[in-house]
Amino acid sequence: MHDASTLLEVAREAVTLAASVCRQVQRNLDEVRAITKDDKSPVTVADLASQAVVAHTLRRRLPAVTLVGEEEARSLRDPAQAANLRATLAAVQTVWADCTEAALLDAIDLGRAQPSGSFWTLDPVDGTKGFLRGQQYAISLCFIDRGTPAVGALACPNLPISFDAPLDQADPHGTLYTAIRGQGAYEQRGDAGRASTARIRRADHRADEPISVCASVEKEHSNVSDTDRILERIGRAGEPARLDSQAKYAVVARGQADAYLRMPTKKDYVEKIWDHAAGALVAAEAGCIVSDIQGKPLDFTRGRGLSNNSGVICAAPRVHRLVIQAISELGIGR
């Protein structure tokens, strides 16, 4: 296996290229819709193109790659999806000029591997509704080494670095977050290539401060009533920061919000590993505590799902303690 710094450099390149492709698709939503005759097709094109670009980059840069991705190419092999295939290929060719249809399909299907030993996991477009609204989404890539997230790259193409900029609008530069386990978390502009990075360190929450929760725009993604009960129990609830995708992990990690609560909407719902691996690593390396709603560490040894966990809590240390205590006192999840 390559050393962690090499893996990080490859991951950074992969998500940066994928972000470029996604920006291109997002800028041309109407054009893609006209080609495919489907209002939701742009996010499908971006998803598949992003996975193809990441898979191609990993395979080009590394001698052996096991990739557990969210997408597969089966839909594009259907003749009825020829328009989506053409649109996806055109998007990929903006950064992989000599890509063919066969190479595209093969690259996407590299992500069909089963989790075993050490492997990469990818969410090529996390936050599909945010993508379609022209707001926040993320490209999340993480190397999991024998059950432990070890190297992560989280591209947030529309997320501004400045806290003063609105979260519900697309920033022209975006941000990129990277982390190596035990070596801290870093932030840089998303479109600046090898621009200098700045380490982010999450300051703990003070007792006299309001508690701002980072919440999804789409309320069905988390149990809002449980979140409200927890905040009422804790007290001092501040204005929530609403945005989609694993960008929420970044916003908590850099101190723009105090907690991200993903409360289960169904008793038997299992979170997917690619929805949390890179974001959780970045947040933990910045100084946050990440666990499930019972306070247990996230278990990435159970295949494609976090089946040994229920929900996710990411917060500054003091707030994490308060949230877990409130969940226990309220009997949530029992």
Q: How are strands ordered across the β-sheet holding 213-215? A: 241-242, 213-215, 259-262, 312-315, 289-291
List 57, 66, 88, 128, catalytic entry: 128
Catalytic residue status for 78: no
The helix-helix angle for 4-27 and 41-61 (nearest 10°) equals 150
Active site residue 191: no
Phi-psi category of residue 56: left, alpha or beta, with phi > 0 → left and psi -120 to 50 → alpha: alpha
- Measure Cα distances from 307 to 25, 290, 311 in Å: 34, 16, 10
- The CA radius of gyration of the chain, in Å to the nearest whole number, is 19
Query: In angstroms, rounded to a whole number, what is the distance separating the alpha carbons of residues 283 and 105?
Result: 33
Least Cα distance to 104 among 114, 115, 93 occurs for 93
Question: Are the C-beta atoms of 318 and 278 separated by less than 8 Å?
Answer: no
Query: Closest Cα partner for 262 from 302, 236, 288, 290?
Result: 290
d(Cα 179, Cα 290) in Å, to the nearest integer?
A: 15
Task: Select which of 44, 47, 275, 292 is catalytic.
Answer: 47
- Of 269, 138, 327, the residue nearest 216 (C-alpha): 138
Laid out side by side, the sheet with 185-189 consists of 67-69, 118-126, 138-145, 148-156, 175-180, 185-189, 198-200
Quick one: tokens of 103?
């190479």
Query: What are the residue numbers of the active site?
Result: 47, 128
